[in-house]
Copies of this chain bind each other. A is one copy, B any other.
Amino acid sequence: MLKLNWKCTDISVLGQEHGLNIEQEFNDYAGKISDIIKSLNQRKDKPGECLQWMNLGYNEETVWYVKEFASMVEGRFDNILVLGIGGSVLGGIAVTEALLKPYWNMLSAEQRNNLPKIFFLDNIDPDTINGLLAVLDLRKTLVNVITKSGDTAETMSQFMVVKNLMQEALGDDYRKNIVATTDKKMGILRQLADQEGYKIFYVPDDIGGRFSVFSSVGLVPFALVGLDIDKIINGIKDIDLELKNTDIHQNIAAQFALIHYLMDTKKGKRSTVLMPYSSRLKYIPDWYVQLIAESLGKKYNRAGEIVNAGLTPIKAYGATAQHTKLQLFNEGPNDKVVTFIRVGEFDTTLDIPKIFEYTGIGYLGGKTVNDLLRAEMYSTKVSLVDNQRPSLSITIDKIDEYNIAQLLYMLEVQTAISGELYNINAFDQPGVEQVKDYMYALMGRAGYEGSATSLREKMGIMS
């Protein structure tokens, strides 16, 4: 079970200037929070509200289809290649890195229980794509191309390159090596998948990319590398019930959201740092960064006023970040809330041998690396308190399907609650639409010739 400890944001620990009177605040906001949670749950099935991700714990049909597909192709492929960008892959990267054995792609087939390696192509760097194509045998690779709209330029250009190479290598059979994850009705990828005969999975309506990890977007790659997607769904289902609780004292997503909101608006803490003490969890902050940046970074509020809202999310992981960012967190501007993620129990223990006993590192011998990592985390928390810097702690019992799913789902729910507190739309991204039009103009897409000229003028200042 996920636990949240917020004591290091409380006035009793941090003092008046940087601490919140949490008990008081929880009471003051109890009504508002209750209304928000009720409202989210009432609106969740309404088209256009973009809250369908709140139903992904009750999605037995998709889970069944995904598992059936995974067992059908079992043993046929050495590699899974996921094509996508942003929300289409960040959840996949975060969850597989957390749950697969470390260094998965370097393990022998036997060490992988004959499950495939997995690669995510999340960018359009020519050198990196060419490099990956030199590593993969496409004949033994299942390509999962993910774009809801079906016309994401980065993803579809990757796909056009890969599709042609697969056709060269496999002839007409190449179709059997492609799975498309896209919209049910609309878009070019949907259309191509039909025409060419690719296997298709649907991204349900009203689920944005950054909230899609537990839809087919994430479930398909998870199942293909042998993760237990039933446990993932059970994790969400169980915590969803807890997070429907309208009492802020009982709802950790509401607590997480409210504390960040108040720290921002009352105490000037405009950054949120997510800092798991675990290397396996190190891509979860990347997923969180997108979730927060795109959901809360908004020019207008729902009343149409210019607010330029938004927390700046920052990735970290311990103990490493103690040697990179902690100096800034402790001594720089006091404008951040650090959230630790503590793993209750690691899968393995690593003993530090009792050697070099009579030297300055002798104290390490006979301990475990697990002990050391825990000591580092507590030391860092106390040092933040010493410097009057607020922090939260999330504890997960262990790193498995059930707990990781709960962690991510809780962070999604808290993001939705935050959006309501800021009174902004957490589910659109108007600030990047113009970029696409500019890009279409520069790439010569029909219908965008007009803006190309003025764009080139603006670009004159840049080269």
A435's partner among B355, B383, B430 (CB-CB below 8 A) is B383
- Are A157 and B369 also in contact (CB < 8 A) when A279-B125, A320-B86 are? yes
Tell me the smallest distance from the CB of A421 to a CB of chain B, in Å.
16
- 1/0 per residue A414-455: CB within 8 Å of B? 000000000000000111101110111011111000000001
Judge whether A242 is part of the interface by a CB distance below 8 angstroms: no
- 1/0 per residue A174-214: CB within 8 Å of B? 00000000000000100110000000000000000100000
Closest to A196 in B: B356
- CB atoms of A308 and B332 under 8 A apart: yes
Tell me the smallest distance from the CB of A231 to a CB of chain B, in Å.
18
A314's partner among B90, B312, B431 (CB-CB below 8 A) is B312
Which residues of chain B come closer than 8 Å to A293, judged between CB atoms?
324-325, 327-328, 332
A369's partner among B90, B161, B290, B360 (CB-CB below 8 A) is B161
Which residues of chain B come closer than 8 Å to A459, judged between CB atoms?
378, 381-382
- CB atoms of B435 and A353 under 8 A apart: no
Please, how many angstroms separate the alpha-carbon atoms of A319 and B129 in the complex?
14
Which residues of chain B come closer than 8 Å to A2, judged between CB atoms?
none
Please, how many angstroms separate the alpha-carbon atoms of A333 and B320 in the complex?
29
Please, how many angstroms separate the alpha-carbon atoms of A91 and B440 in the complex?
37
Which residues of chain B come closer than 8 Å to A371, judged between CB atoms?
443
Judge whether A85 is part of the interface by a CB distance below 8 angstroms: yes
Which residues of chain B come closer than 8 Å to A380, judged between CB atoms?
435
Tell me the smallest distance from the CB of A75 to a CB of chain B, in Å.
22
Judge whether A298 is part of the interface by a CB distance below 8 angstroms: yes
- CB atoms of B333 and A270 under 8 A apart: yes
- Are A129 and B361 also in contact (CB < 8 A) when A325-B293, A383-B438 are? no
Judge whether A368 is part of the interface by a CB distance below 8 angstroms: yes
Please, how many angstroms separate the alpha-carbon atoms of A382 and B373 in the complex?
45
Q: Which of A7-62 contact B (CB under 8 A)?
A: 7-8, 13
Closest to A192 in B: B356
Q: Which of A255-296 contact B (CB under 8 A)?
A: 270-271, 278-280, 286, 289-290, 292-294, 296
Closest to A325 in B: B293
Please, how many angstroms separate the alpha-carbon atoms of A348 and B367 in the complex?
49
- Are A330 and B382 also in contact (CB < 8 A) when A325-B289, A346-B126 are? no
| Other contacts beyond A124-B373, A310-B331, A312-B335: 18, CB < 8 A | A101-B131, A103-B131, A111-B134, A122-B320, A126-B346, A126-B349, A153-B364, A154-B319, A163-B355, A209-B323, A270-B335, A290-B325, A298-B332, A308-B333, A323-B432, A371-B443, A378-B459, A379-B438
Which residues of A are in contact with B by a Cβ distance under 8 Å? 5, 7-8, 13, 85-87, 90, 101-103, 105-107, 111, 122-132, 134-135, 151, 153-154, 156-158, 160-161, 163-164, 188, 191-192, 209, 270-271, 278-280, 286, 289-290, 292-294, 296-299, 308-310, 312, 314-315, 317-320, 322-336, 346-353, 355-356, 359-361, 363-365, 367-373, 375-376, 378-383, 385-387, 393, 399, 429-432, 434-436, 438-440, 442-446, 455, 458-459, 461-463
